[in-house]
Chains A and B, each alone.
Chain A
Amino acid sequence: MAKDASSGTTSLVSRPVIVEGEISGEENLHVDGRVKGIIRLAGDLFVGANGVVEAEIDARSIVIQGAVTGKVLARRQLEVQSSGRFSGEATAASYEIRQGAVFEGVSRMLGSKPQAEKPADPADHSPKK
C-alpha cells in the first residue's frame, strides 16, 4: 500500500499484533490489534472493532469501533461508533457518539477551561446483550 511517506500514510497494527510502548509520528494509525502505552499522531487514529487500546492518546481525529481506555486528546473530533466503547478522560474539539456506543468518563471541549468539565453521559444507551 503506502509507498508514499506523506502524512497520508496509514500504519496498521493488525489483529494478531500487540504493541506495548510509545507510538508517535506524522501518520494515521489503524489499530485492529492491541496497543498499550502512548500514542501521539499528527494524523488520525482509527480503532477497528477488534482493536483494544489502553493508552494516553493525542491525535487529530479519533474514531472508535473497538475499545479505548485512557486519557485522550482529539484535536479535531472524537467519534465513538455504535460498537465502540470508551472509558477515561476525553478532550476534543467536537464529539460524535453514536447510539449504542459506550462512553464512560469525563469529556471536555478543547479550548474550554478545565473547570468546564462535565460528566459525560450523552450515551447511556449501553448495549445490553
Chain B
Amino acid sequence: MFGKEKTEAAPSTAARSDNDTAFFGAKLSLKGKVAGSGNLIVMGKLEGEVDLNGELVIAPPAVLNGEMRAVTIAVSGTVTGTLSAGEKIHLEKSAAVSGRMNSPRISIVDGATFNGDVEMKKPADGAASSKRAEKK
C-alpha cells in the first residue's frame, strides 16, 4: 500500500460556484416566491414575491410583477407592484415601474418611467433591512 489514499473527489463539474449571486436569465420565468440572502439578478419574468437580504438587480428585458423586498434594488427593467428597499432604490434610464416604492433613499434617472406612490422611510417589515449586503 502506498501512503496516500485517494479521496473520492467530486467530479469536475463541482467547481463552479462559491457564488452568492443568483441569476435568472432572460428566457426563464418564475412564478412564486424567492427568498434568502445574497444578491439576485433577474433578466427574465418573475411573478410573485421576492424577499432578499441583499441586492436585487432587475435588468432588461426583465418583467416583474408582485412584491419585491431587498436591501437595495436597482431597476432597469419593468416592474409592476411594490418595491421596498431597506437602503435604497435606483431606477435606471430604461426602468419602467408602476406601483409603490418604499425606501429611505430613492433615485430616478432622467428617462425612467415611474407611476405610483412613493414612501420614503424604512419599511416597517424588517426582513430586508439588516445590513448583510456587503458580504462578499
Binding site for B on A (CB under 8 A): 1-2, 5, 7, 9-27, 29-30, 32-33, 37, 46, 48-49, 63, 65, 81-83, 100
Give Cα A100–Cα B11 distance, bound, in whole angstroms.
Answer: 13
| B30 contacts A22, C-beta separation under 8 Å | yes
Asked if B107 is an interface residue, CB under 8 A from chain A, the answer is no
* B49–chain A nearest beta-carbon distance, Å: 9
Interface residues of B in 24-51 (CB under 8 A from A): 24-38, 40, 43-44, 48
Partner among A2, A19, A26, A37 whose Cβ is within 8 Å of the Cβ of B23: A2
| A82 contacts B10, C-beta separation under 8 Å | yes
A-B CB contacts (within 8 Å), total count: 111
Residues on A with beta carbons closer than 8 Å to the beta carbon of B21? 12, 14
What total of chain B residues lie within 8 Å of the partner, measured CB to CB? 34
Asked if B8 is an interface residue, CB under 8 A from chain A, the answer is yes
Residues on A with beta carbons closer than 8 Å to the beta carbon of B43? 5
Task: State whether A19 and B32 are in contact (beta carbons under 8 Å apart), knowing that A2-B23, A32-B17 are contacts in the complex.
Answer: yes
| A11 contacts B48, C-beta separation under 8 Å | no
Give Cα A16–Cα B20 distance, bound, in whole angstroms.
Answer: 7
Give Cα A109–Cα B16 distance, bound, in whole angstroms.
Answer: 30
Partner among B13, B14, B32, B40 whose Cβ is within 8 Å of the Cβ of A17: B40
| B34 contacts A25, C-beta separation under 8 Å | no
Task: State whether A81 and B8 are in contact (beta carbons under 8 Å apart), knowing that A20-B32, A22-B30 are contacts in the complex.
Answer: no
Specify which of B11, B26, B43, B61 lies most central, judged by the most chain A CB atoms within 10 Å of its CB. Answer: B26
Task: State whether A18 and B24 are in contact (beta carbons under 8 Å apart), knowing that A5-B43, A48-B17, A82-B10 are contacts in the complex.
Answer: no
Give Cα A100–Cα B24 distance, bound, in whole angstroms.
Answer: 32
Partner among A25, A32, A48 whose Cβ is within 8 Å of the Cβ of B25: A25
